[in-house]
Every structure is written in structure tokens, then in C-alpha cells.
Amino acid sequence: MMQIQQLSLSRGDKRLFAELSMQAKAGEVVVILGPNGAGKSTLLLALAGLHAADSGDVRYHGTSMAACSKHELAQLIAWQGELPPTEFGLTVRQRLELAANATSATAADIDVALTHMQLQALAGRSLGALSSGERQRAEIAAVMVRDCPVLLLDEPTAHLDMRHQVDCLKLIRREARHGRLVFSVLHDLQHAAAVADTVVLLDGKGGICVGKALEMLTAERLAPVFGVSLQGSGRDLRPLYREYDEEA
Amino acid sequence: MNIRENPWLLLPVLLAASLLVGGLALGMGEHWINPLSPGDDMASRIVWELRWPRILTAFAVGGLLALAGAWFQVLLGNPLAEPYVLGVAGSAAVGAISAMALFPDAAWVMSIGAFIGAWVGIAVVLAFAHLGTARLLLAGVVLAAFWGAVLMLLIALLPERGVVRAYAWMMGDLSNSLLPGWSLLLAWAVALACGLLLSLSLDKLLLGEKHAEALGVDVYRLRRQLLLLASAVTAIAVTAAGTIGFVGLVVPHLMRLLFGSLHRSVLIASAFGGGLLLIMADSAARMVIAPAELPVGVLTAMIGVPVFLWLLLRRTS
């Protein structure tokens, strides 16, 4: 469904990585991991058509993204990024309506999305009156309401409490089961293990490694990239905090 | 039915309010004149040759300034932006005062000077349009400071009589506009229509440029369109009436507080609300120290700011 062909990206003057090539299919969850500044968000932006690549190409269903209009991309891809500004007093429902407007979603779809993220009671509130976690839930609902075949999520569990983190991860799996392709940047290795079929690991020095989640989520692979001691693998992979106590 | 959900319901209310305020303003003055049967020749001439064109001008200029304010606020992602934020008023003032200095005997050259000055200012700003919002704003602020310095230099060189006229222009004057009221009203209608055509994209731009683009908006094109539209409207308003502050800042804010943030409502309400505010301010300016007149820009600030602060307090409590 999606082919990334020799994609090279920079942010400002800094080259992030060169010649990433991979394929992903409908129903797959691809998790992007890597240290701060490695280019995870920039990669998502490039896949969304919101950041120009230095070279290379991204194809959806065989069509180059560069050949698509902004309008066509908005039908195909739902992107969730930083929280939008709140100065102008949009309400939660208006936020979802603007998202829904890019596709053919209806008022009923908006209600469903609000219910999923437990936002019904907040629907009429202005975004500026909400907590970061509540705003994040509104952003996730805004992605869901668009009903696009490709979802690009940039740290969707950021700001969320434990319950909504779990809900969010379930939602990612459910969307994949419904045949959508999901790319998600995540920082929590347990979250990654809970949803990932495939992992893209950016090491922050220009190196890229793509592989099956089970092979990628191991202490041997991740510890050197993040510079921490890890133990276990897959869903049990976690940092060794005790070691730091001893150092101190 | 809810006005917030259906902004077209605003139209009859705003039209009625405009007729009422306009009618009252026609009659108001040192002596009350019934505008429907003005009586003797003198009163009739005052109403139809002096007050009526001036009310049309006030309505259109107020509406244009409010529209430009709403556009600049979303363009720059900053609710404190106003029509003069990118220095267009400064360059217009430099144009007007230079024209006055060169041709001190002809009043109408000030309008032409203002128009040319405004467009020089716009051309300079357009050269920065491809930069991001923050740098565009910074460029605008620096340019405004530059035009302000040139203005001070000009005023320092003017003879005393010229200084008085320069200040009068800079504080706003609706009494001798070169542009006829009907042409300003036409500009007002065209500007409102253009704004309404863009209103959905403007709403999406409230979410930030990246989000707007992800929702299918060609942000680069929209920014250029908005910059040109808002600047052109500001240039027309400045040419017609000099610099009148606070209308463009306060009115879109008020309308957002009253009718929500979606641009269909904000633009319709601002176009009328700005017009009504300026008619009222100008009527007051004519009467407070009659037969002399106050500069209308002073009054817009004096009416606009307390109302704005009161609404701000009420909203947050």
C-alpha cells in the first residue's frame, strides 16, 4: 500500500538520515522509535506531505505523493501532531468539525469519535479551557473522525493518563484491524510493544533499522541507541532503574 | 435557532441596526434634524451633502478595518494583530505627509500620497511573505518603526501649519475623503464576499499552518491571498480616513466573544460591527465639543478599549 523509496530528510541544515526504503501494508502498525532529535516527527511530516524531502519518494497505492493535491492527500492521510493553538477559542466540537470537513464524515461520526475519547461532556468547551490531556484526546478524536486509510500519529499517548493511554493503544490496534495503515511515533517501549507489527528505529546519527517488532524490541538493539541499560525483551523490555540508584 | 450556529440570522439584525444607527447619526448634530423630512434647504443640504456621505464613509471604513483586523489576526496567528501591524499605516502616513509637504495647497493630494504610500508599504511586506509567521511579524514591526522614524523626520521639517494638519490626518478624519462613500461601500461588499469565500480555510488556519495543510488547505497560497486582501483593504481605509486605531483590533475580538470563532460569523459580524462602531464614534466626535470636532481615532480608542476590557473580564470570570 505504501512504499518509501530512498527517502532522505533534513531539518534546517541538519541531515537526519539518508535513503530510507521500506514498504508497509494496510492493517499494519509501524512504530517509529529513536532518541530526541533523531527525526521521528520529521519523518511523519514527510509521510504526510507536510515536509519536503531532500530526495526520494513516497508512494501510496503506487501513486507518488508529489503528484497528489493537498485536497487528495487530506482524503488519504490523517496526521496528528503538536497540540493546536488555543488563542482563538475554538470549541472541541468545532475542532472535530474542521477535521471532518476534509473528508465526508458526518455529525454522527463526530459524536462517535467524541464518545470514544470520552469528550461528550467537553464538546462545547473551548480548547483553551481544557487540560493538555483533554486536548490530546480531542486531537486523537479529530484523527479518528476523518476515516482516512492512513493514520500518522506523533506521540498519541503524550499527556494522557493511564486509562486513556490504554484506550489510545487499543484504538490504534482497532484501526489497524479495520484495514488502516498506522504509523506512530512512541517513546514508551511498552506502548510500542503493545501495538507494533513493525519498528523503524532511527539512531540519531543517520542510521536506520527497520524490522519486525519482535526482533527489534530487544535490549541488545535498543540499549546502545538510547544509551541506557535495558533488560527483557518484547513486552517485558524495560530500563534498569536500579543501576542508576547504585551510581548515585 | 442559535445565531452561533447559523450566522446568516445575523444579517437582518445587523442590517436593521445599521439603518437605525445610520438614521440616528443623520439627524444628530448641533441641532437635531429629522432625516426623513429635513425641512428647509440648509438642513436638507447638511443631511444629504455632508452627513450622509460621511456616514457611508464611516460605515465602510469601520467595516474594512475590522475585516482587515480579523484577517491579520488569523494570518499571523496572533489575536493582538491589527490592520496597521505590518507598517501599512506608517507608510501611508509617510506618503500623505510627503504629498502635503510638496503640495501644501491641495487637500486631495494627501489621499493620493496615502494610497501610494500604503502600496509601497505593502510591496515591501510582500517581499517577506514567504518567511514564516514569526519573521513576517518581526519584519512588520521593524518596518513600522522605520516608517515611524521617517514620519518624525518629515514632521520635524514641516512648517507649523503643516504639523497641525499632519496630526489631524494621523488621528483619523472622515470629513473630507477623496473616495466617494458608495465606492467605499462597494469595496466593503467585495472584501466581505472574498472573506466569506475563504472562511472555511481561515477556520482551519486557526489550528496552525501544519494542521491546516494536513486538512487540505494550500497554506502558502492562502497566506499570499490573505496578505494581499488585508493589505489592500487597509490601504483603502487609510486613504479614505487616515489612521483610525482600535477598530481593527477590538471589533473582531468582540465578535468572537459574542458569536464564536468560526469565520462566517466573525467576518459578517465584524464588517457590520466595525461600521456601526465607527458611525457612533464619528457622531460622538462631531458633537462632544461642537462646533469643533474631535479626531475620531481618539474616540474609537476611548469607546473601544473599555468595552473590550469589560468583555474580557466577563469572559474569564
Of the candidates A48, A77, A90, the beta carbon closest to that of B261 is on A90
Average pLDDT in the A105-123 region?
A: 92
Classify strands A14-24 and A238-239 as parallel, antiparallel or unpaired. unpaired
Contact (CB<8Å) B260/A94: yes
Say if CB B7 and CB B265 are below 8 A apart: yes
Cα–Cα distance measured from residue B299 to residue B280, given in angstroms and rounded to the nearest whole number:
9
State the pLDDT at residue B3. 60
Mean predicted confidence (pLDDT) in B128-148: 84
Looking at chain A, how many residues does it have? 248
Return the higher-pLDDT residue of A231 and A193: A193
Segment among A165-174, B177-186, B211-220, B301-310 with least mean pLDDT: B301-310
Distance of CA A32 to the CA centre of its chain: 8
User: Which among B207, B218, B257 is the nearest to A98, CB-wise?
Assistant: B207
**Between vectors from CA B124 to CA B123 and to CA B130, what angle results, nearest 5°?**
90
**Virtual CA dihedral for B18, B22, B23, B28, nearest 10 degrees?**
140
pLDDT of residue B13: 77
Cα angle A68, A74, A78; round to 5: 125
Q: Which among A243-247, B1-5, B55-59, B306-310 has the top mean pLDDT? A: B55-59
The per-residue pLDDT for B108 is 78
Integer-rounded Cα radius of gyration of chain A:
18
Under 8 Å between Cβ of A87 and A78: no
- The Cα of B213 is separated from the nearest Cα of chain A by a number of Å equal to 7
pLDDT in tens, B142-161: 998 999 999 999 989 888 88
Q: Which domains are assigned to chain A?
A: 2-247 (3.40.50.300)
What is the grid cell recorded at B259?
Answer: 458569536
Least confident span in A144-158, B51-65, B86-100, B299-313: B299-313
Domain extents for chain B? 7-316
Residues of chain A found within 8 Å of residue B210, distances taken between Cβ atoms = 45, 50, 79, 81-82
What is the mean predicted confidence (pLDDT) over B5-32? 74
Mean pLDDT of A49-58: 94
A135 neighbourhood in chain B, CB within 8 Å = none
Q: To the nearest whole angstrom, how far is the Cα of A61 from the nearest Cα of chain B?
A: 19
**Chain A, nearest residue to B199 by Cα:** A98
Q: In whole angstroms, what is the distance from residue A135 CA to residue A89 CA? A: 13
The answer to whether residues B249 and B80 touch, using CB atoms and an 8 Å cutoff, is: yes
**Which residue bears the cell 469595496?**
B187
Decide if pLDDT at A242 tops 80. no
Q: Which of A11-20, A101-110, A164-173, B241-250 has the highest mean pLDDT?
A: A164-173
Task: HSE, CB side, 13 Å, CA atoms: give it for residue B18.
Answer: 21
Query: Which chain A residues are Cβ-neighbours of B203 within 8 angstroms?
Result: 90, 94, 98
SS (H, E, C) chain A: CEEEEEEEEEECCEEEEEEEEEEECCCCEEEEECCCCCCHHHHHHHHHCCCCCCEEEEEECCEEHHHCCHHHHHHHEEEECCCCCCCCCCEHHHHHHHHHHCCCCCHHHHHHHHHHCCCHHHCCCEHHHCCHHHHHHHHHHHHHCCCCCEEEEECCCCCCCHHHHHHHHHHHHHHHHCCCEEEEECCCHHHHHHHCCEEEEECCCCCEEEEEHHHHCEHHHHHHHHCCCEECEHHHCEECHHHHHHHC
Instruction: State the pLDDT at residue A56.
Output: 94
Band (B316; pLDDT cuts 50, 70, 90): low
**Region label for A96, one of left (φ > 0), alpha (ψ between -120 and 50) or beta (otherwise):** alpha
Would you say residue A102 has pLDDT above 90?
A: no
Separation in Å, CA of A2 to nearest CA in chain B: 18
Find residue A8's DSSP bridge partners.
A55
Predicted confidence band of residue A247 (pLDDT cuts 50, 70, 90): low
The share of chain B scoring above pLDDT 90, in percent, equals: 30
**Residue B138 parent element (H or E):** helix B133-157
pLDDT band at B54 (very low <50, low <70, confident <90, very high): confident
The arithmetic mean of pLDDT across residues A131-142, rounded, is: 97
- B36 three-class SS: coil
DSSP string, B38-57: --SHHHHHIIIIIIHHHHHH
Amino acid in the structure at residue B50: L
pLDDT in tens, B91-129: 988 998 899 888 877 777 888 888 899 889 888 887 887
Mean pLDDT of A231-243: 82
Task: Please report which confidence band the pLDDT of residue B175 belongs to, taking 50, 70 and 90 as the band edges.
Answer: confident
A97/chain B closest Cα distance in angstroms: 10
3-state helix, strand, coil split of chain B in percent (to 5) is: 75, 0, 25
- DSSP of B64-126: HHHHHHHHHHHHTT-TT--TTTTSHHHHHHHHHHHHHHH-TT-THHHHHHHHHHHHHHHHHHH
What one-letter code names the amino acid at B216? Answer: G
Looking at residue B38, its pLDDT comes to 65
List, for residues B183-193, the tens digit of each pLDDT value. Answer: 999 999 999 99
* Residue B145 phi, psi (nearest 5): -65, -40
CA distance A228 to chain B (A): 34
CB contact under 8 A, B214 and A81: yes
Cell of A87: 488563542
The answer to whether the Cβ–Cβ distance between A84 and B207 falls below 8 Å is yes
Mean pLDDT over B214-239 rounds to 90
Confidence of residue B30 (pLDDT cuts 50, 70, 90): low
* Confidence at B31, pLDDT banded by 50, 70, 90: low
pLDDT score at B313? 79
The answer to whether residue B1 scores a pLDDT higher than 50 is no
pLDDT band at B5 (very low <50, low <70, confident <90, very high): low
- CATH architecture classification, B7-316: Orthogonal Bundle (1.10)
The grid coordinates listed for B98 are 510627503
Q: Give the helix/strand (H/E) hosting B155.
A: helix B133-157
How high is the pLDDT of residue B110? 82
- Mean pLDDT, residues A17-35 taken together: 95
What pLDDT digit, counting tens, does each position of A197-224 carry? 999 999 999 999 999 999 999 999 999 9
Q: What is the mean pLDDT of chain B?
A: 84
| The three grid cell numbers given for residue B30, joined into one nine-digit string | 448641533
Cβ atoms of B261 and B208 within 8 Å: the answer is no
**Closest chain B residue to A80, measured at CA:** B211
CA distances from B49 to B26, B181, B297 (A): 11, 11, 23
pLDDT tens per residue, range B266-315: 999 999 999 999 998 888 888 877 777 788 888 888 877 787 788 777 76
Residue B317: predicted pLDDT = 46
Q: What is the mean pLDDT of chain A?
A: 93
Lowest mean pLDDT among A125-129, B29-33, B102-106, B155-159: B29-33
